[in-house]
Amino acid sequence: MKRSVISITLTLAILAFVLPGCGPYADEGPDRDSLGGFHKAVLTDAPEVPPPTDYSTTQKVIVRLEIVEKIMRLADGVEYSFWTFGGKVPGKFIRIREGDYVEFFLDNHPDNKLPHNIDLHAVTGPGGGAEASMTAPGHTTQFTFKAINPGLFVYHCATAPVGMHIANGMYGLILVEPREGLPPVDKEFYIMQSEFYTKEGFGKPGLTSFDMQKALDENPDYVVFNGSVGANMGDKAMQVNVGETVRLYVGNIGPNLVSSFHVIGEIFDKVYVEGGTLINENVQSTAIPAGGSAIIEFKCEVPGTLTIVDHSVFRAFNKGALAQISVNGNENPEVFTGKQRDAVYLPEGSAVQSITPERESAEIPERSLDEHLKLGKVLYEGNCAACHQLSGQGLAGAFPPLANSDYLMAREDKGAGIILHGLSGKIVVNGVEYDGIMPQMMLSNDEIASVLTYIRNTWGNQGGLVTAEEVSAVRLGQ
Amino acid sequence: MRLQIGYFLILFAGGLLAFHAPPERSPQTPSGKAPEGMIRIPAGRYTPFYSVNNDANTKQDVAVKSFFLDDKPVTNAEFLTFVKANPQWARSRIPALFADSGYLKHWKGDLEIGNIQIENSPVSNISWFAANAYSKWKGLRLPTLQEWEYAANAAPTGENKSVKEIILAWYSQPSRKTLPVAGSVFRNEFGLYDMHGSVWEWVYDFNSIVMGGDSRSNSAVQRELFCASAAFGAADREDYASFMRFAFRGSLKARYTVSNLGFRCAKDL
């Protein structure tokens, strides 16, 4: 009796000594893994990402995924029999914190035909949980793992035949945030690349299904982001504002191909290489292996549409590996001006700078008016019409008219100087101001005489003959 | 280890079931003539998907003796007569030891199917114990895994498709609301209907070849049992259709019920 009293007292004393160290916020030192509570994980469908973990203690996180076999859209007019984690492809995004205990439930819907399981690359243990989660249709399995390593990991079904379960849509991402969390950003998105091997081939309308031979040949019909062609294109593009920082959680499940992940018009400020701790900076394209990932960060400086591609580029433009981020806001000309000039480039014509400024011809006898008109028409159509138009009307606001042009008709040189030397800066033609650039044309005196004669005697113009001698005089500055 | 447990379960169940469902009748037939609704499957050899030889390097054909097999899976209506005669197998009375909570969940009541459309469709949502009890009550037995695989390997008649194509087409379609009427999918060269493309089927020793839950691992011990490895032991690594059937069996326990899992009966000559 007396002995047990002493024992209880002693126990209480020890408890009193130890307990303060086991408080809910004891995150440092040997007690940092003591359980601070539990919660149900927020799960999201692509391209959404669950909010950052807002807790600083180790938690028990309950994750529940339901496996559903169902027909969904693969491309416009094309349907496919998908096998899914959570009813969509890719599967739900799972977000936990380093050190968390994950109580994982896998439900295999009773209407499913096949057993399934899950291999989470974030799991340290046999098969990544595959053996422990083997689930017959209409059943639920459960296992628990501790998230020891931080990083971005893929998960997938690993039931035989593994390749087919993956090829049919059974994959997703699980993010294990480091204890200290990730630096805050304005927007986060979930992007998963995968391939589909279909009996009917790319774009063939109707219901299609897995083609084993194409999978063995590693020759996919579709390479897509987020489970279907155009899943995040057009009005389903990811939305960002100018000035915002963006973090992409990118996974590639394959099942066969390595991704050359690239965003057209952006440079990745940071890449968490292969979804791990190593950070690379100022990257244009990053390789993501099948069964691997990358975390990518950049700032959207200017408005526009950023197109995400697999830069193994036939996959992008011929097999569907495209997605878009729409950046909304005001232009920032210091970073990017937009198009400042669009001039005609005629490498085989004459709109190039000459190294020898004068290309004088041998003596050509002066032509008649008819000859000049005939030759001038040909030269005009080859050298001038692209801007000034065949009708000589020009293009409003860009290229001044030549027909009934008060400016041209008033010039003493009859226009020869413009063709010989080019023209830039403000001019007023028929009361309208133009501020463009016309390049110097590489034409001989004779040719210029023909073009000018043609221009000055067509479309109602009445300007008479221009001779090569007159042009020569202008060229020589007389 | 799993193998031993499997045998233990079978022996254990066998003992109990003799009590639970005494035979209704014992079909007596002249030697060699198949009972009504059954097909005489000739003796033969076939290459199992998983080698049963101890030496995994020598993939050997397996000899299968002649036996009788139901030409169609057992239907809901047929199973109802069994439950009526053996009410201890009714949904509300079956012990949890013999079936999980999904047992006959698609029926309206204990002794009522409640959906005329499925009366002649294969019965599903039945446990191995229930399928085994039904077979004994009929004076029959469940086919062995080898018998079933041998019988199911026969080519389809009157179709251009191979067995594999029929299976893969079935896998690639989500489950239908109601199972097709038994005998409506396809017939094979033995004269058996719907060996694939309708329901999975229980076999007597469904857990004698275990595909591990993780299909990629390999165990040095009992290779052909856990060969799940998807590489070792498989006669044809590209036979995805068979992989899935063995994976499915590997996910089962004898008390499990599944919406796409039925059975048919066999009998010795």
Q: Which of A385, A391, A371 is nearest to A449 (CA)?
A: A371
Does position A57 have pLDDT exceeding 80, yes or no? Answer: yes
Kindly state whether B216 is in contact with chain A, defined as any CB-CB distance less than 8 angstroms.
yes
- Class of residue B44 by CB neighbours under 10 A (exposed 0-12, middle 13-18, buried 19+): middle
**Most distant CA pair in chain B: distance in Å?**
52
Average pLDDT in chain B: 79
Identify whether the C-beta of residue B99 lies closer than 8 Å to the C-beta of residue B93: no
Identify whether the C-beta of residue A106 lies closer than 8 Å to the C-beta of residue A129: no
Q: Which of A273, A279, A334, A271 is nearest to A301 (CA)?
A: A334
Residue B114 or residue B12, greater confidence: B114
Kindly state whether B235 is in contact with chain A, defined as any CB-CB distance less than 8 angstroms.
no
Q: Which of B261, B226, B259, B250 is nearest to B1 (CA)?
A: B226
Cα B143 to the center of its chain, rounded Å: 7
Kindly state whether A135 is in contact with chain B, defined as any CB-CB distance less than 8 angstroms.
yes
Per-position b or e across A353-390, b if 16+ CB within 10 A of its CB:
eeeeeeeeeeeeeebeeeebbebbbebbeebbebbbee
Helix pair B240-250, B163-171: axis angle to 10 deg: 60
Does position A438 have pLDDT exceeding 90, yes or no? Answer: no
Does position A89 have pLDDT exceeding 80, yes or no? Answer: yes
3-state secondary structure (DSSP) of residue A273 = helix
CB-side neighbour CA atoms (13 Å) of B80: 19
- Stated pTM of the model: 0.70
Q: Do B214 and A81 touch (CB under 8 A)?
A: no
Q: Tokens 């022996």 map to which residue?
A: B11
Q: Which two tokens stand for residue A435?
A: 């501020």
SS3 content of chain A, % helix, strand, coil (to 5): 20, 35, 45
Residue A194, strand partner residues: A224, A254
- The model's confidence at residue B200, banded by pLDDT at 50, 70 and 90, is very high
Query: Stretch A181-202: mean pLDDT, rounded?
Result: 95
Kindly state whether B243 is in contact with chain A, defined as any CB-CB distance less than 8 angstroms.
yes
Q: Which residues of A touch B212 (CB under 8 A)?
A: 131, 134
Q: Which of A194, A188, A260 is nearest to A225 (CA)?
A: A194
Q: Tokens 């008016």 map to which residue?
A: A369
Predicted local distance difference test score (pLDDT) of residue B52: 47
pLDDT > 70 in chain A, percent: 88
Predicted local distance difference test score (pLDDT) of residue A7: 53
| Count of other CB atoms within 10 angstroms of residue A284 | 10
Predicted local distance difference test score (pLDDT) of residue A476: 87
Q: How far apart are CA B111 and CA B92, in angstroms?
A: 10
Q: Which two tokens stand for residue A387?
A: 């801007």
Q: Where are the alpha helices (DSSP H) in A179-218?
A: 212-216
Residue A387 or residue A138, greater confidence: A138
Question: Per the omega criterion (within 30 degrees of 0), is the bond before A52 cis?
Answer: no
Taking only the tens place, the pLDDT of each residue in A112-124 is 888 999 999 999 9
Helix pair A445-456, A369-383: axis angle to 10 deg: 90
Does position A18 have pLDDT exceeding 60, yes or no? Answer: no
Does position B54 have pLDDT exceeding 50, yes or no? Answer: no
Predicted local distance difference test score (pLDDT) of residue A29: 47
Residue B230 or residue B205, greater confidence: B205
Q: Which of A81, A70, A50 is nearest to A189 (CA)?
A: A50
Predicted local distance difference test score (pLDDT) of residue B62: 83
Measure in Å the smallest separation between the Cα of B25 and chain A Cα atoms: 34
Q: Do A164 and B248 touch (CB under 8 A)?
A: no
3-state secondary structure (DSSP) of residue A281 = strand
Predicted local distance difference test score (pLDDT) of residue A1: 43
| Count of other CB atoms within 10 angstroms of residue B147 | 21
Q: Which two tokens stand for residue A200?
A: 């009917």
The minimal CB distance from B172 to the residues A81, A112, A117 is found for A81
Cα B218 to the center of its chain, rounded Å: 26
Predicted local distance difference test score (pLDDT) of residue B60: 67
Q: What angle do CA A103, A109, A113 make, to 5 degrees?
A: 125
Single-letter amino acid code for the residue at B225: L
Restricting to B residues 104-133, those with a Cβ less than 8 Å away from any Cβ of A are none
Kindly state whether A360 is in contact with chain B, defined as any CB-CB distance less than 8 angstroms.
no
The minimal CB distance from A137 to the residues B216, B244, B260 is found for B260
Residue A462 or residue B225, greater confidence: A462
Q: Do B251 and A134 touch (CB under 8 A)?
A: yes
Kindly state whether A206 is in contact with chain B, defined as any CB-CB distance less than 8 angstroms.
no
Q: How far apart are CA B168 and CA B60, in angstroms?
A: 26
Q: How far apart are CA A242 and CA A236, in angstroms?
A: 18
